[in-house]
């Protein structure tokens, strides 16, 4: 299939994602004033002191105090800007590439970008800022634009102060730095340690040693005095001592099905890499997976963490060279595209679902294999 047609198809899909993301964000932030969405963006330092995730909330509160513009409109305007910039850069990047149908398969992956359609509640989450910063970084590396190491450190710190989950995806930054920059391997590893890993670790230690809970006793009243009343308190009534393991045990069936989504997401990338003759360093994948283990242990939103992983991986390979597919390769790509349109992964609990008959068959196969392995162990 001609490259230009494929590029237009990819751009069309991304425009749809952009529209869904903006309309969903407006609904969650402005219309519903959701505590899990708007509330998370408004965590701030002014209502009690230094805390996790409070960086941008402090800025939004300051703007509100200066301009008297409603907080929900300030947050939405910021997200509108971030989403617009992100999708503009992404579409522009894809239009410059000689893409094949496998790229469209990646863009439609339900565990990656496709989740924006399959579960739109992923919109308005803070990771869109991670995606934008990483995309800018990838574009700069591709264009051979030199980014000072201390600037990269600053972006990493901003990301972690926005949401500490950014720390657990740090290997993506280090991997891109190592693969795309010139110099000796030892020198690059030294810079990754001193300018990326060490500042990130120190920041995380400060957050968890001295940082307050995201919800102080004055948080809700403080925001109410700034003109905001939540329809639901969301994050401001979350019990930090909640027994996460008991929740996992109560929903063990559903959480196990995330393995199916990870499997199909990984197969999509495996097929993509094989047919495009692209190699992703297995050492990086092992390190990144190791980094993610604590996040999956501590936080319930498994679909969210998987989604971030696959989107960042998509952004990395987006700038890599693609090959012209053979007829057989195009047929395989079409099969992957159709299959990726047939299933979904949700933010929490529902790890995989598809058409009822296929869903039942796949889960039977999965559990047959799963319990065989358990019995062998």
Answer whether residue 363 shows pLDDT above 80: no
Domain ranges in the chain are 3-376
* Mean pLDDT value of segment 5-17: 96
Per mean pLDDT, which of 179-188, 219-228, 266-275 is the most reliable? 266-275
HSE value, Cβ hemisphere, 13 Å, CA-based, for 131: 29
Name the nearest CA neighbour of 132 among 89, 170, 186.
89
Q: How far is Cα 156 from Cα 166, in angstroms, rounded to an integer? A: 8
Paired tokens of 200:
């990130």
Q: How far is Cα 289 from Cα 281, in angstroms, rounded to an integer? A: 13
DSSP labels, 148-178: -HHHHHHHHHHHHHH-GGGGGGHHHHHHHHH
Q: How far is Cα 172 from Cα 155, in angstroms, rounded to an integer? A: 14
Give tens-digit pLDDT for 107-133.
999 999 999 999 988 989 999 999 999
Residue 232 forms beta bridges with which residues? Answer: 34
First-to-last CA distance in the chain?
Answer: 48
Q: What is the pLDDT of residue 249?
A: 85
Q: How far is Cα 89 from Cα 40, in angstroms, rounded to an integer? A: 26
Q: What is the pLDDT of residue 370?
A: 66
Q: How far is Cα 9 from Cα 260, in angstroms, rounded to an integer? A: 27
Give tens-digit pLDDT for 24-61.
999 999 999 988 899 999 999 998 889 889 999 999 99
Give tens-digit pLDDT for 251-304.
888 888 899 999 999 999 999 999 999 999 999 999 999 999 999 998 889 999
Answer whether residue 97 shows pLDDT above 70: yes
Helices 71-96 and 302-318 cross at an angle (nearest 10°) of 40
Q: What is the pLDDT of residue 375?
A: 64
Name the nearest CA neighbour of 188 among 168, 203, 173.
173
Q: How far is Cα 289 from Cα 249, in angstroms, rounded to an integer? A: 22
Contact (Cβ atoms closer than 8 angstroms) between residue 55 and residue 38:
no
Instruction: Compute the mean pLDDT over every residue in the chain, rounded to the nearest whole number.
Output: 91
Q: What is the pLDDT of residue 1?
A: 60
Q: How far is Cα 73 from Cα 11, in angstroms, rounded to an integer? A: 28
Which residues make Cβ contacts (< 8 Å) with residue 36, sequence separation at least 6? 232, 234, 235
Name the nearest CA neighbour of 33 among 211, 301, 226, 216.
226
Give tens-digit pLDDT for 297-336.
988 899 999 999 999 999 999 888 888 899 999 999 999 9
Q: What is the pLDDT of residue 376?
A: 59
Give the SS3 label for residue 99: coil
Q: What is the pLDDT of residue 100?
A: 93
DSSP labels, 111-134: TTTTHHHH-GGGTT-THHHHHHHH
Q: How far is Cα 222 from Cα 353, in angstroms, rounded to an integer? A: 41
- Top pLDDT among 187 and 348 is at 187
Q: How far is Cα 48 from Cα 50, in angstroms, rounded to an integer? A: 7
Name the nearest CA neighbour of 90 among 156, 25, 14, 36.
14
DSSP labels, 278-311: ----HHHHHHHHHHHHHHHHH-S-HHHHHHHHHH
Give tens-digit pLDDT for 185-195.
999 999 999 99
Give tens-digit pLDDT for 161-173.
999 999 999 999 9
% of the chain with per-residue pLDDT over 70: 97
């Amino acid at each position: 299939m001609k490259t230009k047609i494929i590029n237009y198809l990819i751009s069309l899909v991304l425009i749809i994602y952009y529209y869904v993301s903006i309309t969903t964000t407006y609904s969650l932030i402005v219309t519903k004033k959701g505590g899990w969405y708007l509330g998370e963006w408004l965590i701030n330092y002014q209502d009690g002191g230094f805390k996790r995730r409070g960086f941008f909330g402090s800025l939004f509160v300051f703007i509100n105090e200066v301009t008297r513009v409603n907080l929900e409109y300030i947050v939405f305007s910021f997200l509108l800007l971030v989403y617009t910039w992100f999708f503009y850069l992404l579409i522009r990047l894809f239009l410059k590439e000689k893409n094949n149908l496998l790229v469209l398969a990646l863009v439609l992956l339900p565990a990656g970008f496709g989740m924006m359609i399959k579960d739109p509640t992923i919109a308005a989450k803070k990771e869109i800022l991670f995606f934008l910063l990483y995309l800018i970084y990838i574009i700069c590396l591709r264009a051979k634009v030199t980014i000072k190491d201390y600037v990269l450190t600053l972006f990493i710190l901003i990301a972690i102060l926005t949401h500490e989950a950014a720390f657990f995806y740090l290997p993506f930054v280090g991997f891109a730095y190592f693969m795309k920059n010139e110099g000796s391997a030892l020198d690059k590893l030294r810079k990754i340690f001193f300018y990326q890993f060490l500042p990130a670790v120190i920041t995380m230690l400060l957050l968890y040693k001295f940082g307050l809970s995201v919800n102080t006793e004055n948080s809700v009243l403080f925001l109410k005095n700034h003109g905001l009343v939540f329809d639901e308190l969301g994050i401001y009534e979350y019990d930090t001592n909640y027994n996460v393991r008991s929740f996992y045990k109560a929903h063990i069936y559903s959480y196990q099905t995330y393995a199916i989504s990870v499997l199909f997401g990984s197969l999509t990338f495996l097929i993509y890499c094989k047919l495009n003759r692209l190699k992703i360093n297995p050492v990086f994948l092992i390190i990144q997976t190791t980094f993610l283990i604590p996040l999956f242990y501590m936080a319930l939103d498994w679909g969210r963490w998987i989604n971030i992983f696959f989107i960042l991986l998509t952004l990395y390979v987006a700038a890599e060279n693609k090959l012209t597919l053979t007829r057989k390769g195009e047929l395989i790509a079409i099969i992957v595209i159709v299959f990726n349109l047939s299933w979904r992964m949700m933010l929490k609990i529902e790890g995989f679902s598809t058409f009822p008959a296929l869903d039942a068959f796949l889960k039977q196969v999965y559990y047959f294999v799963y319990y065989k392995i358990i019995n062998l162990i």
